Amino acid sequence: MSAPVGVVAATGSGRVVPAVLLILLAALPAVANAADLSFATLLMTRVMIYAIAALSLDLILGYGAMVSFGHAAFVGIGAYAIGIASAHDLWEGAITFPLAMLAAGLFALVTGAISLRTRGVYFIMITLAFGQMAYFTASSLSEYGGDDGLTMWAQTEFLGAEPFGDRTTFYYLVLACLAGCFVFLRALVASRFGRVIAGVRENRLRMQAVGFNPYLYQLAAYVIAGMIAGLAGALLANHAEFVSPSYMSWQRSGDLIIMVVLGGMGTLHGAVLGAIAYLMLEEGLSHFTEHWRVIFGPLLILIVLYARGGLGSLLRRGGSDG
């Protein structure tokens, strides 16, 4: 069995790139304030939230070869858990954040138990169906805004403090969550559990022959990914102070897949790079035309054709050339 891509990425630039990214992200608020670009802090907070969601998808897509077209449903469920709690005047984050992650994890457990009994295109279609089911369920919640979404009149509190009220504090809290998720997932994929997931991707029958149950391992990975995506949704709800069924749409799931592919599947820092590149390109190109995807599409095709392994592979090449 060949070495997983993530194992290769764990050497060389796989250690350097995350460290450089962390330093740059940590320095950004100070640079933005000095340059009077406070909007950059707000934008990068959103980017890092989606980077957390992309990391969670990379666990099952990049390492487990599970192409989920309903991953945004977990983000939306996490966001709605926060939004619905706020509608009932429940603002304590020590309660609502675990609730958001548990709700997303429960949905992942139920839907994953069914979806993982299929493979290939059937798995893609059934995850898409479950994602759309969550989308239309949220759209039908007229008590919580329905299609129009739900506005939050305040942000989550933690033990009486309001850490999300300050833009810079919010930024560093999201950065801490991103770093924590990265470290956790890196340890997970380097563990026996991660090696089994990668082994199932390479040769399912061989893993069964040596005594592992691929279904249970994949289901566990699916639930973990769902819970991390739920965390991203909880942060997104506080960032926008608004929750919407659009968070769960199949288009948003497609965006997350593009982020992972763009950065490099099976490289955790690649998922972060992909989220940054995708959302920054979206922000930049959308200022020129509302049809920015027409420009972005060919760029993505060029990256896929000439940079197999995504942006992460380009950095590895650059490091080896240096």
Q: Could you tell me if 167 and 42 are in contact, meaning their C-beta atoms sit under 8 angstroms apart?
A: yes
Torsion sign (Cα): 277, 280, 285, 290? positive
Q: How confident is the model at residue 289 (pLDDT cuts 50, 70, 90)?
A: confident
pLDDT attached to residue 29: 92
pLDDT at position 247 over 70: yes
Cα dihedral angle (98, 228, 215, 183), rounded to 10 degrees? -120
Q: How confident is the model at residue 242 (pLDDT cuts 50, 70, 90)?
A: very high
Q: How confident is the model at residue 4 (pLDDT cuts 50, 70, 90)?
A: very low
Q: What percent of the chain has pLDDT over 70?
A: 92
- Closest alpha carbon to 57 in 73, 80, 77: 73
Q: How confident is the model at residue 320 (pLDDT cuts 50, 70, 90)?
A: very low
Domains recognised in the chain with CATH numbers: 5-317 (1.10.3470)
pLDDT attached to residue 322: 37
pLDDT at position 7 over 80: no
